[in-house]
Amino acid sequence: MALIVQKYGGSSVADAGRLRLVAERVAKSRTGGTEVVVVVSAMGDSTDDLLDLAAQVTPLPPARETDMLLSAGERISSALLAMALDALGVPACSLTGAQAGIATTADHGRAQITGVAPERVRQALDAGLVPVVAGFQGRAHGGTEITTLGRGGSDTTAVALAAALEAELCEICTDVDGVYTADPRIVPDARRLDRIGYEPMRRLAAGGAQVLAAGSVAYAQRHRVPVRVRAAHGPGQGTLLCEDSGAPDGSVTGVTHHKAARITVAAPPGRGGAAGRILHAAAAAEGGFDIEVRQQDAGPGELSFVLHADHIPAVLAAIEDAGAGAPDPVRVHCDDRIGSVSVIGAAPSAGPGSVARCCSVLADAGVGIEAVTYLRPGVRVLCQDDHLCDAVRVLHSAFGLSAPAPAGA
């Protein structure tokens, strides 16, 4: 009997009406005897609402208690969806991540999945139930502590369950109908990809594409899990993530972007070890994004690194902790007006040629460049954030990624 795992994001289960639509979609998926396991995120903006509540209680909520708080959001979604399925005559049961056998590291707020023991999920399936699993969470391996998986954790939960259950397919059901060559909200003629390989998708996710979490792509790649990204509500086959995208070698897959920030840290003379401690703390808080380090000329011990804007608070807190107790505190400057745009999949053999092409195209469009990095394969450019959308559009056009115009247009 075929088995699929479906994951529904927060916008897909944002209210009672959408939960009922998801229940109808799940019920339809079970036709023909297909077994379905469902993974859900927290409803709408409930995770942000919970974080806001925590901030009202204390400016520095303990990591363990934050995980206990945030994990409640997905548990609410899973219980409500199980109720909606039951109302349709589809027997279902909700499960926490721990009950579903998701084992993790003990790193609160950014735990990594270390294994899955899906016996309880399998028992529910054998009993004719639809297991509805709370995503984004698990239990520290060998312990009893509840942990959360960080940004995109529900995607990783779904892929991990699909791997453990040897599912035929993992479907990531979201508010877009697949993976595009750029954000279609910025580039209206961006092209939806019918299929994409694991490695280019991982690079797109790391570069800012929000349709799939980078960690979930890496997990799918390690365990060879086929993943389909499709619309939660609506027709279409979406985009299949698999081993071979069928794209020619050296072709450009897409253009991604995200808001970034440059943090500059100046340690007083004689504090040579401060840089290492700060970078170690920042790397831990960053949660996996690339960090770019440059030694500055302005003074001894001064360095800067570029990171995703979403991680500014955690990294600044980590820097403060790293310099705590020192007689001469480090000086920190944060420039959050930086944009990062990446051309993913440029042929490695192009080397400096692909970098030169990006620079030339952006210069012609009046986009000032702050830094360029050759990614093998690909190019990342930093610019001022008010030029970010222009940079995405001109690079997308320059590399021929636009969808063809309709016949007769």
Q: Judge contact between 339 and 387, C-beta under 8 A.
A: yes
175 is in an annotated binding site: yes
Cα–Cα separations (whole angstroms), residue 250 to 5, 181, 189, 202, 352: 32, 15, 22, 16, 14
Q: Which of 301, 356, 287 is nearest to 108 (CA)?
A: 287
**DSSP H/E element including 68:** helix 63-87
- Distance, in Å, from the CA atom of 187 to the CA atom of 182, rounded to the nearest integer, reads 6
290 is in an annotated binding site: no
* Terminal Cα-to-Cα distance of the chain (whole angstroms): 46
181 is in an annotated binding site: no
Beta strand pairing status for 331-344 and 254-266?
Answer: antiparallel
198 is in an annotated binding site: no
Question: Which tokens sit at 123?
Answer: 């028992």
74 is in an annotated binding site: yes
- Distance, in Å, from the CA atom of 3 to the CA atom of 35, rounded to the nearest integer, reads 5
Report the 10 Å Cβ neighbour count for 176. Answer: 18
Helix, coil or strand: residue 150: coil
147 is in an annotated binding site: no
Q: Judge contact between 138 and 98, C-beta under 8 A.
A: yes
7 is in an annotated binding site: yes
28 is in an annotated binding site: no
Where would I find the beta strands (DSSP E) of 10-120? Answer: 35-40, 92-95, 102-104, 113-116
8 is in an annotated binding site: yes
180 is in an annotated binding site: yes
- Distance, in Å, from the CA atom of 330 to the CA atom of 159, rounded to the nearest integer, reads 42
Greatest distance between any 2 Cα atoms in the chain: 72
Annotated binding-site positions: 7-10, 47, 74, 174-175, 180, 185
Annotated binding-site positions for substrate: 47, 74
Annotated binding-site positions for ATP: 7-10, 174-175, 180, 185
